[in-house]
Amino acid sequence: METPICDFVRDYCARDALRLHMPGHKGRALLGMEPLDITEFDGADELYAAAGIIRQSEENAARLFGAARTLYSAEGSSLCIRAMLYLALLHARENGLRPAVAAGRNAHKVFLTAAALTGLEVDWLYPESPESLLACGVEPAALESYLDTRERPAAVYVTSPDYLGNLADIRALSAVCRRRGVLLLVDNAHGAYLHFLPEPRHPLDLGADICCDSAHKTLPALTGAAYLHFSESAPAALLEQAENALAVFASTSPSYLILQSLDAVNRVLAGDYRARLSETAQRTDALKARLKSHGFALRGHERTKLTLAPKSFGYTGDALAARLREADILFEFHDPDYLVAMFTPSTVPEDFGRLERALCAVERRPPILTAPPLPGRPARASAPRSAMLSPIELLPVENCLGRVLASANVGCPPAIPIVACGERIDKNALRCFRYYGIETCFVVKEPPEK
């Protein structure tokens, strides 16, 4: 497959051109990659108004993913999430819908800030039996019930896969949304690879209208590389506004290093990537089976993610991560309850063996019986926008009972809200703050007593 961005930059470097444009390093090496670090000048195209090499590369990506349109982001899925909510607001205004989005509580904090910036209302969808703060996704029955009782929102927003490797039933959720005439938006940041499995599980394959992928999370792209995908079912009016939706929130100085990595990934995906990914999934399945037989408890359903719940083995996730860090084995995520490892085709077979040997060398201890606090349903005091744009103060959490959370920065790592901005902090929230080691939070200032 052609790589028009990479080819353009490579040819430019070979010409030894006089660089009278940005960046200031002028292509002279400090770290080694500076010659490839260019900017938007004649011939280099313009991200968010692409008509040349970037547009060609994006069209290559769209064909690989089966999308009606794919746009690049050099600022991660965070930028794409903001753009999706902006488009949801436009969709509401163009179609006379309530400017609201229904979402699961496992939404990333960027979702909250984007809702506040756009002024969208948020209707939270709660699962019947949440396992933890990290595993509280949207269930089809809950969505159906919500749509039976509430005025139709502009969109439904789903996070899948979640950080623990749980996958929502996107096909069933899509069917509900299609029947009710509601857009389905999916934060697929952790699942860019899903389209290339033997049985594709990507949101585009399962009926989502718009979704974002963090290419850098599971594909061999540089940090910050992401996609905003539109399916054939996405409204044409939103496709016309797509680049502008990104440009509203994006930097005007996108990284061409990141764009080149997205371009190069197209060639990888068009090659033997599917076969290599299948091998990785099989190795991960085999590792999971052996660790389970050794006594480790597992969570999640992602084929290339390993989520350990090591309390039954006698360790918190934090303690086991510290133990393996002594062997220079570093995990994507750990907290008191879980330990998450991510594998890709770039993970060589020897790495699987190294992890297995290290885990199986850990002596088993009596189980830790403490359970994580379950998420509550905090009372809403104001809209997210009102809370985030109010005067705020930073207080110790023990002084925050009854106060209104102002900032989405308070969250259970990795950035899942315990309390959303605009909600009142209750006793259950305080328990969660203490459990996850959160000591302070921003709350809305209260007027002084007269």
Residue 182 lies in a domain: yes
Lookup: tokens for 172: 């069933």
pLDDT at 331 (0 to 100): 98
* Centroid of chain to Cα 200: 19
Confidence tier at 408 by pLDDT (50, 70, 90): confident
Q: Residue 87's closest CA among 133, 113, 118?
A: 118
* Domain count across the chain: 3
Relative to beta strand 69-73, strand 226-230 is antiparallel
The CA distances from residue 177 to 87, 183, 210, in Å, are 17, 6, 13
Residue 56 lies in a domain: yes
Answer whether residue 137 shows pLDDT above 80. no
Q: Return d(Cα 351, Cα 371) in angstroms, integer.
A: 31
Answer whether residue 190 shows pLDDT above 70. yes
Stretch 283-293: mean pLDDT: 98
Percent of the chain with pLDDT strictly greater than 70 = 96
For residue range 342-376, list pLDDT tens digits in order.
999 999 999 999 999 999 999 999 999 998 888 78
Q: Residue 85's closest CA among 114, 54, 56?
A: 114
Mean pLDDT of the chain: 95
Same-domain pairing of 251 and 302: no
Answer whether residue 59 shows pLDDT above 80. yes
Domain range for 429: 384-444
Residue 203 lies in a domain: yes
Residue 369 lies in a domain: no
Among 239, 270, 301, where does a domain finish?
270
Answer whether residue 387 shows pLDDT above 60. yes
pLDDT at 191 (0 to 100): 98
For residue 349, give the amino acid letter: P
Q: What is the CATH number of the domain that holds 402?
A: 3.90.105.10
Same-domain pairing of 76 and 224: yes
Same-domain pairing of 135 and 169: yes
Same-domain pairing of 200 and 256: yes
Q: What is the CATH number of the domain that holds 348?
A: 3.90.1150.10
Count of C-beta atoms within a 10 Å radius of residue 390: 16
pLDDT at 126 (0 to 100): 87
Buried b (16+ CB within 10 A) or exposed e, 300-314: bebbbbbbbbbbebb
Same-domain pairing of 147 and 219: yes
For residue range 251-279, list pLDDT tens digits in order.
999 999 999 999 999 999 999 999 999 99
Among 243, 270, 297, where does a domain finish?
270
Same-domain pairing of 418 and 343: no
Confidence tier at 418 by pLDDT (50, 70, 90): confident
Stretch 46-64: mean pLDDT: 99
For residue range 315-346, list pLDDT tens digits in order.
999 999 999 999 999 999 999 999 999 999 99
Element spanning 308, H or E: strand 305-308
Answer whether residue 413 shows pLDDT above 70. no
3-state DSSP assignment of residue 307: strand
0.85 surpassed by pTM? yes
Same-domain pairing of 128 and 217: yes
Q: What is the CATH number of the domain that holds 101?
A: 3.40.640.10
Confidence tier at 447 by pLDDT (50, 70, 90): confident
Confidence tier at 131 by pLDDT (50, 70, 90): low
Among 237, 270, 303, where does a domain finish?
270
Same-domain pairing of 193 and 48: yes
Same-domain pairing of 178 and 265: yes
Answer whether residue 176 shows pLDDT above 70. yes
Same-domain pairing of 353 and 322: yes
Residue 155 lies in a domain: yes
Lookup: tokens for 251: 């930097």
Stretch 385-405: mean pLDDT: 95
